[in-house]
Structure 1
Amino acid sequence: MATLFKNGEVVEEKSGRISVEPLSEGTFPLMLQIPEEPGEYTTRISFRLKEDTAWAAAGHEVAYGETATERSAPKALRSGKPEIIRGWHNVGARGENFEALFSILHGGLVSYKYKGREMVKSQPKPNFWRAMTDNDLANLLPMRAGMWRNAGLYSTIKTGHGYGGTICDVNETDHSLVVTYTYHLCTQPQKDCFVRYEVFADGEIQVNMRMDASADVGELPAFEMLFTMDADFDCLKWYGLGPEETYMDRCHAKLGLYENKVADNMANYLRPQECGSKMGVRWASVTDEEGCGLMFLTNGLQFSALPYTPHQVDTAEHPNELPPALSTFVRVGEQMGVGGDDTWGALVHPEYHLDNTKPMEITFSFKGI
């Protein structure tokens, strides 16, 4: 069966029968034509049994392959500019249906309201840690990478002489407000992480996070932004690989549109550990039952939404030791792989590490829906 998808939606399906002798190859024409209209088109070929067998019924998929083709559209130009409000302790931007507030005194995005409703429970922060797996514990990753755990937990925002003699740089462009923070990380040697927010008139906020080379601190488990939302935002929908969790070294999955509950992404391991990640995510939404929440435009980054932080998961020895779920924690960025070749000491393969011998950088955006 051949299926053509556009941005995750089925456009066309065709089926046919082919026959190839054992230990031989065959070439067959593709039954689908990719349109020229803008969008991401995925062509998937699925090989299925045509008859019942002793081990599976007719129609059972035994193999598949897919490829994606991008038809680009001209980039839309930004228009308008948010209203910008400057105060002694905060700087804000607002427009139709949204308000964003950044702290000058303490730093960070402290409020993002959409249609009057608060979307962020506490300020988003850089995160460099994922919960340890059994494989990680066996190969002593916490010993080698432990400084990164505290790097995000205890980071402090750099003081300076920017706007108002404060701790952030505030600038305006023709179409946006730009606020940049420098985080001092709790590492030795000490590293800095730079987070830049750009607020546009339609309520979209583009986030850029970057850090200089940091291999002298140790292996980097994660490089991402961590958002805290209210627990009512418990519905996840994404366009990326799925439907099961995927990681850098565990990403043989189909590109498509998927949805589930945030709590469903917690794997029922005997000991809670890293779980729930989505690879190759183009966009994801985290909403309440009415569809109100945040849309993340993630440019193929890794994404997860769980009821717990990596640190809460790490400290629980059994699922019943996890606290009541009071928040939804969204993480956008990159992570190292989760497995070696065994669970008694093998390391994650080098190609599935984050290469922090060079500068790291991610860019994504979010807006209210």
Structure 2
Amino acid sequence: TVIRGSLNLGVRGAHFSALFSYLKGGLVSYRYGWRELIQVMPRPNFWRAPTQNDDGNKMAYRYGVWKLASLYGSNLPVEDGAEVPAEGMDAETFKEKNADAPEEKNTGCSEEKKGAEQTKAAAGAEDVGFGARVKETEAFVEIRFPRYLPTVPRTLLWVSYRVYPDGTIETVLDYTPDPHLPPMPEFGMLFQLPAELEQVTWYGLGPEENYCDRNSGARLGLYERKVEDMMTPYVVPQECGNRSGVRYAKITDAYGRGILFSGDRMDFSALPYTPEQMEEARHPYELPRPFDTVVRCSLRQMGVGGDDSWGARTHEEFLIDTSGPLHFSVKMRGI
């Protein structure tokens, strides 16, 4: 059942419900078996907490734009001297209404936006305001949001959600890189789940943390750990706990109820903290009391480098390839 409102779209099935906000530009509620499974609206993520090796090679200085893009992306276009779109106003109407506003140079996203919107229009998607587009088929309901990134030049990401009858929600990211921007540390989604979902079972490389340039000692298998044990106890809190080549992962409570993520050999982590929380702490005791289980699913995370000295940069072959469009898909379903 699809329920439409002026600012929201709801999808309801036998055992689940999902609520999307046009205004906020994303999934604001996902209930399975009447239990809420997300704490905060999932967001695209391009950042990791710098490792000490990253600090040594000034990664944050070189790639810091992607931290801002992770935290401050907007589903509404931002123009100098122009107001925020009024209720129900889509991006094109907003642009026409503010045609006299000062032009911002090097936006870097107009052609991508135009092409993406034309593609969706041709596919039968309906513009429902605030740049969001909805498409209903017999197999799924799809809602698509633009995500304007505060990069220089500005770029545009499209975030699509497909809701299937069994309660599965497929999240799809589509992004056309700009050659003027540095590589991104990560390309994926970040989900904040209830903290009582503390048991992790994954089928992928393990059992210990591994990265694209640190996985020769990892083995493909089915592994199980608690979320708190996925944290590697480094002296200085930093990026840790990643598992690569993951086909699926379950995050559950003591009764086996929770959420299942699945993807095509994705990078995956489930930790008690966000990248920003780990980055802000210089000692383990400075980390806050965990309130969430933070799941990151990504197409790839850049390697950790440091192979010949502290501070050695990540080799080019272990960076995210931005020579062409990036596409990532991950499915989640309550269990």
Length-normalised TM-score, structure 1? 0.76
* Code of the aligned partner of 1:356: T
Matched, 1:189 2:153: yes
The yes-or-no answer on 1:354 pairing with 2:285 is no
Partner of 2:86: none
Measured against aligned partners, the alpha-carbon deviations of 1:57-99 in whole angstroms (never above 9, x if no partner) come to xxxxxxxxxxxxxxxxxxxxxxxxxx11111111011111100
The structural deviation recorded for 1:239 is 0.5
The answer to whether the 8 Å contact 2:209/2:242 transfers is yes
Distance 1:218 1:238 in 2: 32
Helix, strand or coil at the partner of 2:146: strand
Which protein has the bigger strand share?
Answer: 1
Matched, 1:218 2:136: no
Task: Provide Cα deviations, 1:117-166, integer angstroms capped at 9, x if missing partner.
Answer: 00011111001001111111111111110100110100100352664433
Percent sequence identity over aligned pairs: 45
Partner of 1:319: 284
The residue number in structure 2 matching 1:99 is 17
State the AA in 1 paired with 2:234.
Y
Give the gaps of 5 or more residues in structure 2.
Answer: 77-89, 93-125
Instruction: Write out aligned runs for 1:24-35 (5 A).
Output: none
**Amino acid of the residue matched to residue 176 of structure 1?**
F
Alpha-carbon distance between aligned partners in 2 of 1:204 and 1:165, rounded to the nearest angstrom:
25
Q: Deviation of residue 357 (structure 1)?
A: 2.5
- The alpha-carbon deviation at position 320 of structure 1 amounts to 0.5
Task: Map 1:59-70 to 2 at 5 A.
Answer: none
SS in 2 for 1:201: coil
Q: Which residue of 171, 182, 196 maps to 1:207?
A: 171
Q: Tell which structure's C-alpha radius of gyration is larger.
A: 1
What is the match of residue 287 of structure 1? Answer: 252
Contact between 1:284 and 1:298, CA under 8 Å: does it hold in 2?
no
Greater Cα offset, 219-228 or 162-171: 162-171
**Matching residue of 1:147:** 65
Structure 1 partner of 2:7: 89
Q: Is contact 2:199-2:224 (8 Å) kept?
A: yes
Contact 2:47 2:66 (8 Å CA) reproduced: yes
**Alignment partner of 1:198 is 2:162:** yes
Once the two structures are overlaid, the 10-residue window that deviates more, 339-348 or 214-223, is: 339-348
Counterpart of 2:10, as a letter, is G
The change in CA–CA distance for 1:215 and 1:129 in structure 2 (over 3 A counts) is: farther
Partner of 1:230: 194
The CA distance in 2 between the partners of 1:259 and 1:91, in whole Å, is 36
Query: Which stretches of structure 1, 4 residues or more, deviate above 6 A after TM superposition?
Result: none
| Deviation of the 1:214 alpha carbon | 3.0
2:213 to 232, 235, 249: 249
Q: Which has the higher helix share?
A: 2
Partner of 2:34: 116
Q: 1:268 aligns with which of 213, 233, 238?
A: 233
How big is the alpha-carbon RMSD for the aligned residues of Structure 1 and Structure 2?
1.2
Higher relative contact order (CA closer than 8 Å, sequence separation 6+) = 2
In the other structure, the counterpart of 1:137 is 55
